Every structure is written in structure tokens, then in C-alpha cells.
Structure 1
Amino acid sequence: MSVTDLRVTIGRREIVRGVSFDVAREQTVGIVGESGSGKSMTVLAATGLLDAPGAVVTGTAALADGTQLVGASARTLRQVHGGRIGFVFQDPGTSLNPLLTLSRQITETLETHRNMTRRQARARAGELLDAVGLPTERLDAYPHQLSGGQRQRVMIAIALACDPELLIADEPTTALDVTTQSQIIDLVADLQRDFGAAVVWISHDLGVIGQVADEVTVLREGEAVEQSSILDVFDRPQHPYTRELLEARPRLDGDGPTEVEDTPVLLDVNGLDVRYGDVAAVHDVSFQIRRGTTLGLVGESGSGKSTVAAALTGLAEPSAGTASLDGLDVFGAGRDLRRRISLVFQDPFASLNPRARVGAAISEPLQVHRLAKGRHARADRVAQLLERVGLPTEFASRYPHELSGGQRQRVSIARALATEPDLLILDESTASLDVSIQSRVLDLLTELQRDLGLSYLFIAHDLAVVHRMCHDVMVMRSGAVAEYRPAAELFAAPEQEYTRTLLAAIPPTRPRAGI
């Protein structure tokens, strides 16, 4: 595909500004930038998928045989989409139809574009599932019966069903843990070699792009600020924005947190068990968190990390074990003790009420725990908390949809701080953020810990982020503790093979082409 001078205008605003790039057969072009930089908009417009009201697209986007996609008829686009261009989007949970089996969703493309019979299409669907590493017996399963990584493999099978010339991968690994992300990257590389397709891979993470791409286009505010080979981008970045993206990546060879002198234990958990019916979600988990320190809780999806957080905050009922905060029983706690443990969730847009202004969201815990009496006192405290997390006080009158992802997460942190907690539980609280925004939020958390003496339970699947933030690390697998040691010791010499697997899955600092 060859894209030339692509522009997208909505109303009076030009969203994409004269972007051009080429992708050759068996080549991977990475398109990278922060949220709002125009990455997805560029590719959707180039492939004829953009359906924004009032959008005007100009420029050209042509396939190898001259088929023009910008301004193409609906009939032409129906023939191209699925048949010649396959798509893998960020969230397979919303891309797959929850009411249809995997077989029906894979065979639909084959019947439409290859005129196969139902039996032929099902046989081909089984081959595709096998190609993406899933057993053919799962053909009759529904999406909710699969993990996130398995659902993404199904999306790849659907995208490759008709042997497309071009595969569009739009943030396909952002919502996945590092081991699953590594598996998906390797899978796409293997399938690209076997099927001979070209790939356009969209991501906010240059670390991921370094593992997949041959050429890179860096977008900022809809404009291509740098276009070069992957090695040149890593070794000789020309634009300050590219250098900023490179420096924002969490790295295992970077600095860890400042060491804290021996401080008293704040939280002591012993023998924690949590069961959901017959399933042991957490079994015999014990750990301690000292005042002013951070414990990293890491593991793959389904390892029990969030269940530990749910038990400590009263969202899940423990079936066994004890937990004490400053010697007081957490599981039998009243409201006064509960307010000393606050929780920040992964998705700030989902955890904030879309109908409540920012000021109301932050002041609610002040009312519930009677921490500020009177409207004026609460408004003053809200202003202090906004300033504390680096936001203007006038943001109190805004709604969540009027903020960026990083700003919404700062509001969530301000709300968690409203109760004046001793312990802040951060449940994948930076996993959905761009790496540059993630870096700024991590800096904020470090500053808050230093100034307020907070203790953190930092739940994450990315060990590079954990290395930067945590004094101690506990690795969980299948609900149990696999390894629990001081961070410096664990990263220097991990004892368990599972921990070594998690470390090996982190994208290296050098691009794959340079290794």
C-alpha cells in the first residue's frame, strides 16, 4: 500500500496533516505516537474505514494493483476489507460478537470472500485456529470462554482467513500482559513469514515497535515528525519528540526507587485464601509492606493479583487468613480503618462516574468519611488535592470525557488521596496509558510517596515498571506465591523459572533488527 499526502479534516480542525508512507510485501511499518496523535485515524482513513461524522479525507491510498481506497465505493471496500486487508484491533472483547461461536465468526469471512461452503469454511477455520496456537476443539466456544490473549489469537485468525495482502494491527497487545504480548508479537512475525503479508503495526510503545517494525513513522498531532528505519530511530533519533518517547520507556537497566531505611511494618498479611465457588483464586498468600515502601505484585492475567487487592478493600470475602494494618484487623474493620486503604483502578474512565464533575468525584469520599465539613471546606480540599496531583483547580468543573487518559488517572489518584490513606493500592493503574504519560504518572507517585510517606501495593504485569517503582516484589502464579524477595535481589538473580520467563518477555532496549 502506498499512502500519499493523506489529510483528515473534521469541522475546522485538521486531524491528520499530509501523512505519507509506503509498506511493501513482507515488510512491517510501525506507526507510533501518543493517544490523540492521529495513528488510528491515519490508518482508518487510508483503508476506507473512517466513519466519523463530517470527516473529509483527501490524498491517496492505493494497493499494489492500483486500487484506490480513499473515496472508494462501498462495493469496492467490501471486496477489499477482509479479503485483501485484514484488521486486528486493540480490544478483542469488543471486536468479537459475544453471541456467536468462534467457528461462525471465522467462517463468515471465508464464505463471503472465498465462496466456500459451510463445511469447507469450518475445515479452514480449524486450520487457522491451529496456525494461531489454539486447539481446533475451541471452534464451538464463545468469546467469553477464552482469555484475553486467546481472544486476540482468534482476531488474528479472522484477519488472516483470506490470506490478505495487508494486515493492520492497531495496538493489538496494549491490553495484554507481557508474556502474552511477547507470544502475539512472535505469532504475527511467524504468520507474516508464512503468509507473506505486509503489516502496519500501530502502537504508543516504541519498545514494542522495535520488536516488529522495519520502518517507523512517528506521528505527533496528526503530523509525521520522523520517518526512518527502526535502527536509525533508536540509534539516531532526529526529532525531540522521538527522543522523548524513547526516554519514557521503562527499562530494566534504569534506576530503581530510592532505598528506604528500616521502617515499621504497616500491612501484614498471613495465609490469605479467597475462593469463588470451587475455584481457589488466591491460596495461602503472605506478605508485608513497610511504611514508605512499595511492594510490587506481579504475574500474568488470572494469577490472583487483583483478587488480593479486592480482599484488602472489602470487595471480596476472604475464606481464610488474616490481615492487619498497624496491628488492626483489616477484614473486620470499620469505616475508620477502611479509609486508610485506598484503591486506584486500571481504567480511570470506567472508575469515574461520567455524569459527575471532577470536583464531585473527589469530594464524595470527603463527605462519606466526614473529613471536611461544609461545602466551602470540601471545595478548598478538592482544590488542594488537584494541585497535589499536578492539575489546575479549574478542572473541578470538568467531566471525565473532557480530560485525557493521564489527566483522568490523576483525578483518580486525587480521589484516592482524599481519605488521607496510609496504603494506596494501585491495580494496573498505568497499564492503559501511553508510555510518556505513564512515565509522568509514575513520577507523580514517587513524589507523593516521598512527600506524604505513603506505602504502595503496586499491582502490574510489566516487570520493567515494577523495577522502577518497587522496593520488594512478590510474583504470583495461579493464585499462589511463586517468588517473594527484595526487588534488587529478584532482578539481579531470579530464582524461579516463571520469574525468568516474565523478565525475558519484556521488550529489550535494542530493536530486534539490531540484536
Structure 2
Amino acid sequence: MTGTPAVVPANGAVLSVADLRVSIGGREIVRGVSFDVRPGQTLGIVGESGSGKSMTVLAATGLLDAPGARVTGSSLITGTDGGAPTQLIGAAERTLRRVHGDRVGFVFQDPSTSLNPVLTLERQISESLETHRGMTRRAARTRALDLLTAVGIPDPERRLDGYPHQLSGGQRQRVMIAIALACDPTLLIADEPTTALDVTTQAQIVELVRALQQERGTAVVWISHDLGLIGQVADDVTVLRQGEAVEQQPVLGVFDAPRHAYTRQLLDARPLLGQSAPPPADASGAALLTVESLDVRFAVTGPTGRSVVHAVDDVSFTVRRGRTLGVVGESGSGKSTIAGALTGLVRPRAGAARLDGEDLLAGRGASGRRLRRRVAMVFQDPFSSLNGRSTIGTSIAEPLRVHRLTASGAAERARIAELLELVDLSGDYVDRYPHELSGGQRQRVSIARALALEPDLVILDESTASLDVSIQARVLELLLRLQAELGLTYLFIAHDLGVVQRMSHDVLVLRGGRTVEHRPAADLFADPREEYTRALLDAVPPVRPRAAQAG
């Protein structure tokens, strides 16, 4: 089914934005941004968090709903039924409701918050079809089935009556794309749609959007902090910094002849294959942690009754002192479950883990606490792992007090200041709260908190996955410096092999809870033995943009 014939703005664009400005509380957030998106074209909008990417697109499409926000400029979307293009800035709610979901489809970063957990997939897809196309319930169900098939959902007829929690992250994002494309919009807004996905699923989503775009002639605005990804999806690129468009070029021009220093900084921050970890501080290669035949299972209750998920199946590995073992695999491969087992958050069914010969899994009481103190963990989302009601000083002091690592008063304050200095933060941060810090600063605090334990082993569970690539690069450099200075040992969990190669001396590849490969990093990246490892490597965005490869 196709939408109503569209009338485009005079310049041929599906969306034409001119001199867009957004002010909140007297502060200008977006400063005179202009761009056009034409049928079948993808415009990439790129920049760090806080650069105004999402704010620009939300304001341009009439979705910005911030108290005290003032939006000026022009934003014209294609018209229908021979009518003039629609001005979205200042448009009435009735006009915006008619445009959203019909002429403009949206795919946001986190499908788990965008999808309604209590509605079936059929109901969520058919809602816009009934609203904008006046379809009957039966016709909408047929269309929903066609859409789930088009986006590659397995067994789509059965899934129609299912719920979002029964799908993987990649499948939920495919459902979001189906909802966005239900009414054949002329414009698709993709706001960081792959940031929360592993690299192989990311590559599949990119190919899916491209195929659907070619089939339907949809214009796409793709928002991302990663220029490497933008290079694989975009025809033209707008680089935003502090709400201002500092560079606008075709994608090849951005990669081959960037005009602005900020663009070059974003290019340099990409995690590319070929960047090896520095030599380990400890050349002895002595084992610090030895894991043997680890087995973890979870009992789950689903629509068909109770079942058992075999999350980790007979996994063995060694982490050598002063080195980094990278653990890589897709979502659901068992990476974080292994971290949970080693830190006591998950109880394994079988297996052994020995830290310097001591049983890490069986320790109880005072001896168990002493042993657990030697293993620290840094989680993916620092905003969730830090207590929003506690100051930074209090958060860092907590492990010091629990394990009685320093006396209270002046000695404790001095230790907190020392830990902040280790992660390149000043003592002024002691009295701040997590919401007052950037994502990179919060992750530095999480690292300082982990180091307060004076651990032998630090487990980093996707600790840079939620950060912009430029901030990620700085945090990775910090981790490498701390390892060299303090002789730390890392278990580095990630889904991005470019990042894993930069950090790791050895690599463990997991799939479906089982070991695929466990080898020195140099050997694995030079000559991967397994097809799955090669697939992970192939999913890393290449140095050159897709347009150059096509040429």
C-alpha cells in the first residue's frame, strides 16, 4: 500500500529546514541550522552528546516539547493531494498529528522505551494504519504481517500476538522500523537507532533500512555520534557542534577533505581495526584468574510455560596478570553473565574460578569479602550505577568505608582526592552529583570508585559502549594509562572488535554461551579461525565510507 501523492517544496526536498534556532530559558541551543533532504537520500547528522543533533530534528519535525522552548526558522515537509508543503514550526497540534506517523516515521535509540510493553506487536503496528489510513482491523493486521515479514522478523504470524519483551534488542528495533514505515512515510527519522546494538545486529539494521529505502524511495535523516557509521549510511553529512553546523558536505568530502578541526577530531576517534594494545606491563604471563568449565543457567517463564536458558555453557579461560582479556560476542552470548558470576551477582550451576589459586566462587564470610574486594567492576551505564542522591565524594567513599580501607576524616578525603586525580578529575567534583557531570565524567567517577578497592582484577562490562566515540577514545586512553601505571589486570567485555583490539592482549570470542575462539589478540586478528569471528570483524565499519567502496 502506498501513501497519498506528495507535493515537495520548491527545491525538490522532502524536508527543507532553514535558519532553525532553538532557545530554552534564554540560552540558544540550536543556532541557525539549515539542511535539505531529498527523496531517496540519506542525510547524516553527527556530533557528540550535547551538540544539538536530536534537538535540531525534534524541533524541525514539531516534536520538541521542552518547557520554555522557543523555536524559530522554517521547516517545510512535502505536501499531499496537490497541496502546498506544510510548515512544521509553529504548526497546530492537529496538523502535527496528521503529519507524524503518516508523512514522517520515527525510529529512536532505545526500542524498549519506545514500544508499549502491554500492547501486542499487531496493535502497535496497526494503530497508525487505522488512524491515518482508515483501515479495518483485519486489513491492518494483514498489513502488519507484511511489515514484520519485510523487516525480517522470524515467524511473523506468531509474533503478531507477542509482546516486546519476548524479542531480542535487534528484533525490537526491527519492529520499530516496521511501525515507522507502516504508512509509507516520505521521511524516516533514525535517531541513534543502532547505538544500543552489537556490531553484527547494527550492520543488519543498516542494510535493512537501506534496502527498504531503495524499495520505497524514502528520504532518511540518520542521527549518530559515530562518523564511521555515518560513512556507511549517508549521502550528505551535517556536522553539529554546540548547536551549530560547522561542516556540511557530501560524505566523501567529509572523509577525504574535512574542513573543520572538530570533524577531523571525530574521524580520529573512530575505533578502527589495526590499533593494537600496548605491550603488557607484566611480561611474566603468570595467571591471575583461571576459570574452568563455567556453567550458568536461568529458569524463565514464558507463554509456553517454564524453561531453562543455558546462558554460559562450559566456558574456560585464563586472565594473565597485568594484561587484558577481551571478551567479545553479540548480545546474549553470555559476556555479562560471566562478569556476574565472577562478582557474585549470579550463582553458577557448575565450574570453578580461582584468583591466585583461591576459590572465587565459594568464598563466604570475611574470607569471601576479602577475596571479592580484589575484583572490581565498572558497568556500562554510569548514570545507573551511581546513586543520583549521593555526591561524587560519598560514592567513592562507600567502598573505602565498607572494606575499612582508610581511616575516616582527613585520610579518607585525601584518598578520594587521590582517586579523582588518578582519573583526571579535580577535587572540585567531590561535592557534585551525577546529573551535574557529562557521561564521560560519570564513567571516570565509576572507574575511580572501582580503583578505591585497590583491586587485582577490574571487570569492564561494556564500559564505553554508551559513550560518544570521542569520549570513548579518551576513556580508553585513561584505562591504558592506569594499567601501565598501576599494573592493573582487565577483563574487558565489549561487542566492538575495533575497541577490543585496541585494549586486549588476549581475546575470548563467545556465541550462544559457548567459546568460539580463545587466543592471543595478535593471532586472532591476523588469522581468525572461525566463521563467526570473521563475521564480527566484517561488521566493524571500515575506514572508508560506503560511497568510496561503491565507486
What amino acid does structure 2 have at the position aligned with 1:196? Answer: G
Tell me if 1:62 matches 2:76: yes
**Inter-partner Cα distance in structure 1 for 2:409 and 2:140:** 65
What does residue 175 of structure 1 align with? 196
Indicate conservation of the 8 Å contact 2:280/2:322, yes or no: no
What amino acid does structure 2 have at the position aligned with 1:340? Answer: R
Please give the secondary structure, in 1, of the residue aligned with 2:404: coil
Q: Alpha-carbon deviations, 1:303-347, whole Å to 9, x = none?
A: 000010001000011111111111111012211111000000000
Tell me if 1:89 matches 2:122: no
Task: Find 1:101's aligned residue among 105, 111, 120.
Answer: 120
**Inter-partner Cα distance in structure 2 for 1:47 and 1:437:** 29
Indicate conservation of the 8 Å contact 2:276/2:503, yes or no: no
Tell me if 1:300 matches 2:314: no
**Inter-partner Cα distance in structure 1 for 2:518 and 2:221:** 40
What does residue 146 of structure 2 align with? 127
Task: Find 2:248's aligned residue among 205, 223, 227.
Answer: 227
What does residue 521 of structure 2 align with? 487
Tell me if 1:408 matches 2:438: no
Report deviation, 1:63: 1.4
What does residue 249 of structure 1 align with? 270
**Inter-partner Cα distance in structure 2 for 1:75 and 1:280:** 50
What does residue 427 of structure 1 align with? 461
Tell me if 1:501 matches 2:535: yes
Q: Alpha-carbon deviations, 1:124-152, whole Å to 9, x = none?
A: 00000000001322101100000000000
**Inter-partner Cα distance in structure 2 for 1:195 and 1:351:** 43
**Inter-partner Cα distance in structure 1 for 2:97 and 2:399:** 51
Q: Report the number of matched residues.
A: 515
Q: Alpha-carbon deviations, 1:201-245, whole Å to 9, x = none?
A: 000000110000000000000000000000000000010000000
Q: Alpha-carbon deviations, 1:287-310, whole Å to 9, x = none?
A: 111111000000000000001000
What amino acid does structure 1 have at the position aligned with 2:232? Answer: Q
**Inter-partner Cα distance in structure 2 for 1:123 and 1:273:** 43
What does residue 272 of structure 1 align with? 294
Q: Where in structure 1 are there 5+ consecutive unaligned residues? A: none
What does residue 155 of structure 1 align with? 176
What does residue 23 of structure 2 align with? 9
**Inter-partner Cα distance in structure 2 for 1:363 and 1:256:** 32
**Inter-partner Cα distance in structure 2 for 1:332 and 1:369:** 19
What does residue 97 of structure 2 align with? 78
User: What are the within-5 Å matches in structure 2 for residues 138-217 of structure 1?
Assistant: 138-217=159-238
Report deviation, 1:259: 4.6
Taking structure 2 as the reference length, the TM-score comes to 0.93
Please give the secondary structure, in 2, of the residue aligned with 1:140: coil
What amino acid does structure 2 have at the position aligned with 1:253? Answer: G
Tell me if 1:452 matches 2:471: no
User: What are the within-5 Å matches in structure 2 for residues 301-340 of structure 1?
Assistant: 301-333=331-363, 334-340=368-374
Deviating 4+ runs (over 6 angstroms): none
**Inter-partner Cα distance in structure 2 for 1:322 and 1:133:** 40
**Inter-partner Cα distance in structure 1 for 2:112 and 2:298:** 23
**Inter-partner Cα distance in structure 1 for 2:38 and 2:171:** 29
What does residue 378 of structure 1 align with? 412
Report deviation, 1:279: 2.1
What does residue 31 of structure 1 align with? 45
**Inter-partner Cα distance in structure 2 for 1:148 and 1:321:** 29
**Inter-partner Cα distance in structure 2 for 1:196 and 1:140:** 30
What does residue 464 of structure 1 align with? 498
Question: Percent of pairs identical after alignment?
Answer: 70
Taking structure 1 as the reference length, the TM-score comes to 0.99
Task: Find 2:239's aligned residue among 218, 234, 239.
Answer: 218
Report deviation, 1:426: 0.2
Please give the secondary structure, in 1, of the residue aligned with 2:160: helix
**Inter-partner Cα distance in structure 2 for 1:488 and 1:12:** 54
Tell me if 1:284 matches 2:314: yes
What amino acid does structure 1 have at the position aligned with 2:110? Answer: D
**Inter-partner Cα distance in structure 2 for 1:121 and 1:162:** 11
Q: Alpha-carbon deviations, 1:47-79, whole Å to 9, x = none?
A: 000000000000000013321000001111001
**Inter-partner Cα distance in structure 1 for 2:533 and 2:238:** 34
What does residue 263 of structure 1 align with? 285
**Inter-partner Cα distance in structure 2 for 1:375 and 1:114:** 68
Q: Where in structure 2 are there 5+ consecutive unaligned residues? A: 1-14, 80-84, 300-307
Tell me if 1:47 matches 2:68: no
**CA RMSD in angstroms, aligned pairs only:** 0.8
**Inter-partner Cα distance in structure 1 for 2:413 and 2:439:** 24
**Inter-partner Cα distance in structure 2 for 1:404 and 1:466:** 24
What amino acid does structure 1 have at the position aligned with 2:63? Answer: L
**Inter-partner Cα distance in structure 1 for 2:520 and 2:413:** 41
What amino acid does structure 1 have at the position aligned with 2:213? Answer: Q
**Inter-partner Cα distance in structure 2 for 1:121 and 1:509:** 43
What does residue 303 of structure 2 align with? none
**Inter-partner Cα distance in structure 1 for 2:63 and 2:449:** 38
Report deviation, 1:178: 0.2
What does residue 356 of structure 1 align with? 390
Q: Alpha-carbon deviations, 1:248-299, whole Å to 9, x = none?
A: 0011023433255233111111111111132221111111111110000000
Report deviation, 1:12: 1.7
